[in-house]
Amino acid sequence: MKQRTFVMIKPDGVKRRLIGEIISRFEKRGFNIVAMKLIHMDRATAERLYEEHRGKSFYEELINYITSGPVVCMVIEGDEAVSVVRKMIGNTDPKDAPPGTIRGDFALSKSENVIHASDSEEKAKREMGIFFAEKELIIV
Ligand code: CMP
Quick check: 105 and 99 in contact, CB under 8 A? Answer: yes
Say what percent of the chain tops pLDDT 70: 100
Biggest distance spanned by C-alpha atoms of the chain: 41
Q: Is position 26 annotated in a ligand binding site?
A: no
Distance separating alpha carbons of residues 65 and 61, to the nearest angstrom: 6
Cα–Cα dist 93/99, whole Å? 13
Q: How far apart are the C-alpha atoms of 99 and 131, rounded to whole Å?
A: 30
To test the ligand 1 pocket, which listed residue (47, 113, 120, 126) has its Cβ within 8 A of the most ligand atoms? Answer: 113
Whole-prediction pTM? 0.97
Q: What is the pLDDT of residue 129?
A: 98
Integer Cα distance of 49 and 100 in angstroms: 27
* Among 77, 116, 127, 131, the one annotated catalytic: 116
Say what the pLDDT of residue 140 is. Answer: 78
Residue 92 C-alpha to ligand 1 middle, in angstroms? 7
The domains found in the chain, sorted by start residue, are 2-41+70-136 (3.30.70.141)
- Which residues in the chain land under pLDDT 50? none
Side-chain half-sphere CA neighbours of 92 within 13 A:
5
Q: Using an 8 Å Cβ cutoff, are 103 and 9 in contact? A: no
